Amino acid sequence: MNYESGVMAEKGDPITVDFDPDEDDRLEKRRTDRRRIIIIAGLIVLGLAIAAYFAMRGGTTTPAGEENAQAPTVTVVRPGRTTVEGEITATGSLAARREMPVGVVGEGGRVVSVPVDAGDWVSQGQVLARIDRSVQSQQVQSFSAQVQVAQSDADLAQANLDRALQLVERGFVSQADVDRLTATRDAAVARVRVAQAQLAELRARNARLDILAPAAGYVLERNVEPGQTVSAGSPPLFRIARGGEMELLARLNEDALASISSGTRAQVRPVGTDKLFTGQVWQVSPIISEQDRQGTARIALSYAPGLRPGGFATATIASGTVVAPILPESAVLSDEDGAYVLIINGEDKAERRAVTTGTVTSKGIVIAEGLNGSERVVLRAGGFLTEGETVRTQLAELDD
């Protein structure tokens, strides 16, 4: 036994440490498995990235001859050029073409009856409202009596003159007396005429107490009721559309006004209804408003229950014929830069084309500027295409 063994013996039992030679092998195997898993995960991620790259690029491995086969298919049309009747759309308010305000003509008084109402048709001279004339009737009787008195005086003066003429030949009456009696007779006759004129004037005044229709027409407003006191300073009691004729005061800009004239046909549609009324322009405003640079086209309309003065309406006015492409509404797009269409050029790529739209017809929207009609225009879903994108086309025919 050596020295170390003796020392360990003195202190107690020796500490024994066991070393397993396989432990290092197991640790090394774990490290190898971990590296293998990391490598496999990296390869998977790399493969996914490559697949995503080719998917975004549309498949760079696709042969050039098969590129269009994978492009989206869009429907296109060739609009050509069509002769259409030009139309101008305008808005405005309805009014009576010739409105007649009717008020008090005479001295007025208390209204005793109003035999008509708004919405009635009246004839010329028809009584619209009656004014109390009890006082005026007594005045007529008084003046009639004065006429009778004056006539009696005139008759007496004539009789005196006739007797004097018979006596003058016998020498009982002088010529001076005859002249005096003649003057008396003439004065009496003049007083008769004055009394008759005064009576006629009073009767004319009384006749003006009644409110009469100045012409045949359609009553638009009634602003008086029985018992109301009216006078010459009162506002109009009635408003009448002469002959029931109406009109639309259409507001148009300078260009539109220059393209229409008196006699131009128009279709008017009041707000709140789909019914159309046919009329014609009877006057084009000779001036332009300095505030909004617009003028008024007055469109005459015959009476119809659906036309109410003060209402709002839209007018479609004919303005000659134009030759231009027409596209369905689905083909015309717009953004902050204005209206545009997408056309497919010779390389089958989408291309934006700015256009100026005209009137809207039953066939579609008239393209005033921007197209000559031979282009291939994307019919629908143009908003989902990007400029420069390659597409395949399918030609559609426009309905006649």
pLDDT score of 11:
43
pLDDT for 295-309, tens place per residue?
A: 999 999 998 888 889
Residue 55 confidence (pLDDT) above 90: no
Mean pLDDT, residues 144-167 taken together: 85
pLDDT for 231-273, tens place per residue?
A: 888 899 999 999 999 999 999 988 888 888 888 889 999 998 8
Confidence category of residue 95, pLDDT binned at 50, 70, 90 = very high
In the DSSP assignment, the letter for residue 327 is E
CA distance 75 to 397: 10
CA distance 219 to 120: 5
pLDDT score of 6:
42
pLDDT score of 242:
92
Confidence category of residue 88, pLDDT binned at 50, 70, 90 = confident
Sheet arrangement for strand 229-230: 211-212, 127-131, 109-113, 229-230
pLDDT score of 123:
93
pLDDT score of 134:
75
Question: Which residue do the tokens 């004037």 mark?
Answer: 201
Whether residue 77 contacts residue 327, with contact meaning beta carbons closer than 8 Å, is answered with yes
Mean pLDDT, residues 160-189 taken together: 81
Confidence category of residue 399, pLDDT binned at 50, 70, 90 = low
CA distance 62 to 65: 8
- DSSP strands (E only) in 285-383: 294-301, 312-324, 326-327, 333-335, 338-344, 350-354, 356-360, 365-369, 377-378
Residue 60 confidence (pLDDT) above 60: no
Confidence category of residue 19, pLDDT binned at 50, 70, 90 = very low
CA distance 343 to 337: 17
Confidence category of residue 219, pLDDT binned at 50, 70, 90 = very high
Mean pLDDT, residues 71-92 taken together: 83
Percent of the chain with pLDDT over 70: 86
10 Å Cβ neighbour count for 343? Answer: 19
pLDDT score of 282:
92
How buried is 322 (Cβ within 10 angstroms: 0-12 exposed, 13-18 middle, 19+ buried)? Answer: middle
CA distance 226 to 237: 12
pLDDT score of 3:
39
Mean pLDDT, residues 2-25 taken together: 48
pLDDT score of 23:
60
Confidence category of residue 217, pLDDT binned at 50, 70, 90 = very high
Report the mean per-residue pLDDT for the chain: 81
In the DSSP assignment, the letter for residue 397 is P
pTM of the model: 0.53
Confidence category of residue 166, pLDDT binned at 50, 70, 90 = confident
Residue 274 confidence (pLDDT) above 50: yes
Residue 18 confidence (pLDDT) above 70: no
Distances 25 to 22, 33, 263, 362 between C-alpha atoms, Å? 5, 13, 109, 88
In the DSSP assignment, the letter for residue 399 is P
Least trusted range by pLDDT, from 46-55, 187-196, 373-382? 46-55
CA distance 139 to 146: 11
Mean pLDDT, residues 152-163 taken together: 85
Distances 177 to 49, 170, 288, 325, 388 between C-alpha atoms, Å? 146, 14, 80, 106, 126
